[in-house]
Structure 1
Amino acid sequence: MPEDYHRPPSQTTTSPDSVADRTRAVVQQFLAARLAGDTARLASLFAEDVDWQLAENPAVPWIRPRSTAAECAAQFTELAQYTVPEDAWASVDTLLVDGADAVLMGHLSGTVRATGKSFEGPFALRLTVENGRITRHHLYENSLSIAQACAS
């Protein structure tokens, strides 16, 4: 390459209106609503049709198939009903955003109200945001620990 060759400036945009910035903003709103227990706000953040994935386990009453905004938001209410809110804890160690997709990684723990048993483990959550609403919610967590905590 000749010494006087200059590469053109990057064509990528970093404007606040980029897809990744909009995705990050919705994810931050999702986390704030989740932390506040604001199910109405959570429901407004989910699209009408959601690709919801969470390993089913009949021993865990709050884990079941969901596909609508109302069903997705209700999961957080059901989780609070079946666990001890004061013992619930989660940390997000990593948030990666690429266009419409976001991945959160961290650690969670809690106690099942009916058994008094605790669960804990790492998690990864993949969210996709389209037109300002969450269209994909795939949660990967320590389902064995949760099922064991639910067992009598």
Structure 2
Amino acid sequence: MNWFCPTRSVGIHQPRGKFGPRRVLRRGAHTVEFALILPVLLLMVTGSIELARMHMIHNSASNAAYEGARRGALPGATASQAREAAENLLLAIGIHNPTVTVDPASIQDSTETVTVTVSVPLNDNAWLTPLFTKNKLIVQSCSLTRELVQP
């Protein structure tokens, strides 16, 4: 019995070639096996890429909401400056068509907290044609207490 392949025995009955045991021809078997496994493999790779991109967009939206709220929490900041800080971060990363809202719409000296909400559509930001993340929207928000200047 052959130690490397227990189902085949090396002996007198096995056909031998010039340099050792002759291989059984399996023409096309590898091609058929590859053709059967290829769709499953491509589906897994595509899904992995989509989920990785979704995770990246989720983290980027969260970071942009924080940066916008941080800018809006500074003394003398306006809502448009907070919105612009969040949008600039998203555009630098390459995220398209984000929606950034700042609450309150007008930051006054008496405003205690600033909330920035970032919404990113996954359809506009997918690297591949979206299969699993079609028509999804990632929404992240951050609220920070304003830094008030004491006279």
- Asked if TM exceeds 0.5, the reply is no
Which protein is richer in helix relative to its size?
2
Q: TM-score, length-normalised on structure 1? A: 0.29
Higher strand share: 1
Query: Which one has the largest radius of gyration?
Result: 2
Instruction: Tell me the TM-score normalised to structure 2 length.
Output: 0.29
